[in-house]
A and B are shown apart, each in its own frame.
Chain A
Amino acid sequence: MTGAVPTRSGSRLVVVRDLAIVGVLALSLIVFTIGHGPGFLSLRNLSNILDAAALVAIFAVGEAVVIMAGAIDLSIAAIAAASGVLAGRLLVEGLPSALVLLIALLFGALLGLVNGLLVTALRLTPLVATLASLSVFSGLAFILADGRQIFGVVEFGWLGQQRLWNSITVPTIVMIALVAAVAIFMSQTRWGLRLLAVGGNLEAARRSGIRVTAYTNGAFVFSGATSALAGCITLGFLTTAEPASATTVIFQAITAVALGGVALSGGRGSVLRVGIGAVVLSVIATGLLVMAIPPYYALVITGVLLVLAVLLEAVLTRVARKTSEVS
């Protein structure tokens, strides 16, 4: 009896913690709507916001899975660049674009497997392993491109630029489908649960008979494939295969992951909220743009938001733990 009340408020705090990102999204939409006017909430602007969020979200979903599995992947932008260049060359050769997309995704998955094996077979820490592969894959992208950009690759236009029903773009649809599928996989299936267990307590997972290396490798392979997908979408809207990696992508992706409440130490997180985190970043960038505020303010706001998000999470978790210890 004595424990009932604090226990329930402990649960409520966890709910607050888990829904905070939705509040941040609503708040940022409200602030910019007041600042810019109701045009901010127009269908066109909202679809632009989602389109701008798509790339970061696709990177972030792969990164989130790796982080939930207790690792980290620094090489996502390099995998995207290498896969994009490979796709560009194959498209120039005249291969059908659907086949090229498939080959590029498999190539990205293969590079991800290299990351996984560096961690599981050679026992490197994920940070060191993917720092090294970041360098190798970045160089690989230039090697595949003979050191220069490939211009005029228009065959992926359907993937990077196409707008459906005059509003929603293909990258947005890809983002929504990917976030939904991975969110269901992670939260509803035994494989998702086991992946979280590997990230939360490797030894406990192993003692439970889970083949932990398969899950670590699988997470890196998935991250490689999503990075390749992002690389192909980038190629689609730039129509240029660019061997230079987009170096800031990793920071945006990890920021979206952290904003989504994924524990960077692994074992906990929701892919759905990571998707919302990516949209929040896009709302802020777009909002500052339409209000003619210089974009570097977005960097400052994003950083502050990240600190607040992580602080809120830590404080609420601590309070929730304290209240449940009372019971």
Chain B
Amino acid sequence: MTRPLLELAGISKSYGGLKALDAVSASMRAGEVVGLLGDNGAGKSTLLKVLSGALVPDSGEVRVAGRPVHFRSPRDAEAAGIEMVYQDLALVPTLDAASNMFLGREPVRPGLLGRLGFLDKRRMRQESDRRIAELGASRVPPRREITLLSGGQQQAVAIARATGGDEETILLLDEPTAALGVKQRERIMSLIRALRDKGTLVILITHDLPSCFDLADRLVVMRLGRIVAHVETSQTDMGEVVGWITGARDPLVTMPVKEAQ
């Protein structure tokens, strides 16, 4: 059995008297898609923020590939191989696809021009094409402004941006299929499968239960800051999951969980 890529041990976070995360523990492996489900206010977003470095938890520990990590900023999380694709995409609508893919880490030309900050635009376009192709998505014109791309194409750019590094990555996807047409949703879903097959751990946050059942190997359901279910997708159904989300069903955690020390 492969060792877990991502471990959460007793993560807690309170806002005033409200426990947004209450001793959350879970472990996830490389090359799987984990669906993170729950109602609004269940703690999904808070957990995402902890994992992406946007929020420091009050207590508990995050381990990546067995090593404890302490994120103080999204940069720290990126350095540990965790990338987040936000629901609002976090792309610059007025810039082209290639520019967006490299924003903040733009390749420059060799020599003096590079030291003057001159962009290697050709490399940006070629890399952009290569990454999109690697994801198995249909071609996105690298010089096309983001506003002129379809929702699916924009999502592909955002994901390609996040998975650009070649190290083992953990990809956090917040509502990736929201606001997409049927055909585009299919494309993004096959893109997520391709990432999983490459060995990426994909954590999928969504309200779209059918997509989630289609994609996820395992499901983690949260309610009121706790994990109330952690099960193989094949061993449950939508009725049960809705029960956990609403609190109508008793908690069930079938996956082995390493408790906080």
Contacts and interface: CB of A to CB of B under 8 A. Distances in A.
A128 B210 CA distance: 49
A207 B92 contact: no
Contacts of A205: 92, 103-104
Contacts of A188: 118-119, 121
A189 B116 contact: yes
B117 A200 contact: no
A196 interface: yes
Interface in B84-137: 86, 89-95, 99, 103-106, 108, 116-119, 121
A104 interface: no
B103 A320 contact: no
Given A204-B90, A267-B95, A321-B147, A194 B116 contact: no
Size class of the contact patch on chain B:
20 to 34
A201 interface: yes
B199 interface: no
A209 B75 contact: yes
Interface stretch (A7-15, A19-27, A44-52, A115-123): A7-15
B195 to A, nearest CB: 20
B232 interface: no
B150 to A, nearest CB: 5
A203 B74 CA distance: 13
B217 interface: no
A320 B85 CA distance: 26
A324 B106 contact: no
Contacts of B145: 14, 268
A228 to B, nearest CB: 25
A317 interface: yes
A327 interface: yes
B141 interface: yes
Interface in A189-235: 189-191, 193-194, 196-197, 199-201, 203-205, 207-210
A325 B184 CA distance: 11
A263 interface: yes
Contact of A204 (B91, B105, B141): B91
Contact of A324 (B90, B94, B108, B144): B144
Contacts of A317: 147-148
A209 B150 CA distance: 26
B56 interface: no
A210 B92 CA distance: 13
Interface string B138-149: 000100110111
B143 to A, nearest CB: 8
Contact of B106 (A193, A207, A267): A193
A120 to B, nearest CB: 19
A267 B99 CA distance: 12
Contact of B95 (A7, A189, A200): A200
A16 B256 CA distance: 61
Given A7-B141, A317-B147, A197 B92 contact: yes
A191 B119 CA distance: 9
Given A188-B119, A189-B117, A10 B148 contact: yes
Contacts of A199: 94
Contact of B119 (A189, A201, A267, A268): A189
Interface string B62-78: 00000000000011000
Contact of B90 (A191, A201, A266, A325): A201
Interface string B145-179: 10111100000000000000000000000000000
A320 to B, nearest CB: 6
Most buried by A among B91, B104, B121: B104
A194 B94 contact: no
Contacts of B94: 196, 199-201, 263, 266-268
A7 B145 CA distance: 12
A191 B108 CA distance: 11
B148 A201 contact: no
B96 to A, nearest CB: 10
B92 A267 contact: yes
Given A324-B144, A324-B150, A191 B95 contact: no
A271 B106 CA distance: 21
A203 B88 CA distance: 10
Contacts of A11: 141, 144
Contact of A191 (B92, B93, B117): B117
Given A321-B148, A324-B148, A201 B93 contact: yes
A193 B102 CA distance: 10
Contact of A197 (B95, B117, B148): B95
Contacts of B149: 324
9 contacts: A193-B106, A201-B92, A201-B93, A204-B92, A207-B74, A207-B90, A266-B94, A268-B95, A317-B148
**Shortest 7 CB-CB distances between A and B: which pairs?**
A208-B104, A267-B94, A200-B94, A200-B92, A189-B117, A268-B94, A190-B106
Interface of B: 74-75, 86, 89-95, 99, 103-106, 108, 116-119, 121, 141, 144-145, 147-150
Interface of A: 7, 10-11, 14, 188-191, 193-194, 196-197, 199-201, 203-205, 207-210, 263, 266-268, 317, 320-321, 324-325, 327
Given A196-B92, A209-B104, A317-B148, 5 more contacts: A190-B118, A196-B95, A201-B90, A268-B145, A324-B148
